[in-house]
Structure 1
Amino acid sequence: MPFVNIKTPEAALTRAQKEDIIHRVTDMLTEYFSEAARPHTMVLIEEVRDGGYGRADEVYVIPEAWRAEG
């Protein structure tokens, strides 16, 4: 069973964008594993709260301009 875990900043994507990502990733994986993998493919999109991630000692907070609408 293919499993993909995508982590994004909270509120960075709309529901429609998440659905599109799930469909596109599933389609891509079936190209590699065959159509038989489609019903067993799991795509998990996790939203990480502001301040809950960082790199090189810098804590990230998503700018308001980057927040998804709707």
Structure 2
Amino acid sequence: MPFANYKFPEGIVDHARKEEIIHRTTEMFVEYFGEDVRPYTMVLVEEVADGGWGRADETLTREKMGLPSKSA
């Protein structure tokens, strides 16, 4: 079963963009593996709380990424 898991900082991806990500990812898997994988393809779009994730031993926040604060 093809599976993709996207994680974004909370509040930067709206519902329409999430749907687009799901559709385009599914189409990519179908392009690579054929139409038979469509019903088994899973795409998970997750929102991660500010400061709830990191990379290279550094906690990432919206501020560190140059994004406006969620309340802005």
Q: TM-score range by the shorter chain?
A: 0.7 to 0.9
Identity of aligned residues (%): 56
Gaps in structure 2 of 5+ consecutive residues:
none
Query: How large is the Cα RMSD of the aligned pairs?
Result: 1.6
Which whole-Å CA distance do the structure 1 matches of 2:18 and 2:40 have between them?
18
Runs (4+) of structure 1 exceeding 6 A deviation are: none
Distance 2:54 2:5 in 1: 18
TM-score for the superposition, normalised by structure 1: 0.82
Cα distance in 2, alignment partners of residues 35 and 55 from structure 1: 35
* TM-score, reference length from structure 2: 0.80
Runs (5+) with no aligned partner, structure 1: none
Structure (1/2) with the larger helix percentage = 1
Larger RCO (CA under 8 A, 6+ residues apart): 1
